[in-house]
Amino acid sequence: MPELPEVEVTRQGIQPHLQGQTVREVIVRNPRLRWPVDPQIQQLAGQKIRSVQRRAKYLLLETEAGVLILHLGMSGSLRVLSPAPEPGKHDHLDLVLSNDAVLRLNDPRRFGAAIWWQLPLEAQPLLQHLGPEPLTLAFNTEHLAKALRGKTSAIKTALMDNKVVVGVGNIYANEALFAAGIHPKRAAGNISAARLEKLVEEVKRVLAEAIRQGGTTLKDFTQADGKPGYFVQRLNVYGRGGQACVQCGAELKEIKLGQRATVYCGHCQT
């Protein structure tokens, strides 16, 4: 499943091609995504795209009439195509723009979503209870300490809770905890302010670095064969269970925590 950096790189890739363009036509080939595509999405036709934003893993195409909320699910991708080739089996949604370019949603597993929303975003159930964005000032030591106070759950599990902070998925939770020297099973409410400050710093660093890497390694978002997926990254622990720790040389341990693969160094993380 694409995590926040992949979604942010997608946003950065498509924004220059969409913002300021008018949607000429909406083509829904298969409405059976995670939630059925509302026929009211046709109201997007004739609307100018004012901005392309992101909230957590949701992309928001804002117009005067409403907002198209897109989610890539587990296997989805977006491309801006000009000219657009014939659609394939998994090309479920096209936005045809006034300059003849096409924004195309491809989603083999159909766990993605395309939601036409005309009420204030604050009223959208998917967005209502989300925590702060990790790369903003709202995600800070004070916020994290307050959100974790009294929690006995593992810090890695708490860090992946979107009510605490959005977008810190499994890969980046592993990496940030290693960089901060915090054991993933440590009780979330039993971490000092100084260590939480370091964790906040590392969450921001690993996500920002991943976004930077994605911006330089992904294929062009105007190419039909460009798939975002996970871009090549320099990972210190994720996927390296049983290998040597890059810091101390000890063997990295791998366990399941909250049904997710968790890799850590028993020597460097306490």
Domain map of the chain by residue range? 4-119, 141-264
Q: How far is CA 168 from CA 17, 159, 200, 205, 257, in A?
A: 28, 7, 11, 12, 15
Is 109 labeled as ligand-binding?
A: yes
Q: Mark whether 260 is an active-site residue.
A: yes
Q: How far is CA 155 from CA 150, 152, 258, in A?
A: 12, 8, 11
Task: From the candidates 11, 57, 156, 198, give the one annotated as an active-site residue.
Answer: 57
Q: Mark whether 64 is an active-site residue.
A: no
pLDDT at 224 (0 to 100): 57
Is residue 246 exposed (0-12), middle (13-18) or buried (19+ Cβ within 10 Å)? Answer: middle
Confidence (pTM): 0.91
pLDDT at 190 (0 to 100): 97
CATH of domain 141-264: 1.10.8.50
pLDDT at 221 (0 to 100): 65
pLDDT at 144 (0 to 100): 98
Task: From the candidates 3, 6, 62, 133, give the one annotated as an active-site residue.
Answer: 3
Q: Mark whether 25 is an active-site residue.
A: no
How far is it, in rounded angstroms, from Cα 61 to Cα 108? Answer: 22
Q: Mark whether 125 is an active-site residue.
A: no
pLDDT at 233 (0 to 100): 74
pLDDT at 153 (0 to 100): 97
Question: What are the average pLDDT values for consecutive 10-residue runs of the chain, which has 270 residues?
Answer: 86 94 98 97 98 97 98 92 94 97 95 97 95 98 98 97 96 97 98 98 96 71 58 85 98 96 98
Task: Give the class (CATH, top level) of 4-119.
Answer: alpha beta
